[in-house]
Amino acid sequence: MVNIRVGFGYDVHPLGEGRELWLGGIKLEFDKGCVGHSDADVLLHAICDALLGAANLRDIGFHFPNNNHEMYLRIHLFYL
């Protein structure tokens, strides 16, 4: 029998002035961006959460908490 694991991830950030908009590791030209501790890339953050969940390794916030200032504004491609 095949052992199948499934992970589910989601992320939500408000849009705000003065931020870059990143989606899937690609910077989009827009006058607002997602507000968050890192680059707030909701797509890559959700993918990371899904992969970690499938591996039963908690979520991205556990591994990279928002009080870890070394991670501030880090691009989520790093996490993948």
Helix (H) / strand (E) element for 30: namely: none
Task: Show Cβ contacts of residue 63 under 8 Å, excluding neighbours closer than 6 positions.
Answer: 52, 57
Global pTM reads 0.82
Q: Which residue has the higher pLDDT, 68 or 48?
A: 48
Which CATH fold would you assign to the domain 15-71?
A: 60s Ribosomal Protein L30; Chain: A; (3.30.1330)
**Residue among 1, 6, 36, 2 at smallest CA distance from 19:** 36
Q: Which residue has the higher pLDDT, 55 or 39?
A: 55
pLDDT tens-digit profile of 4-43? 999 999 999 999 999 999 999 899 999 999 998 888 899 9
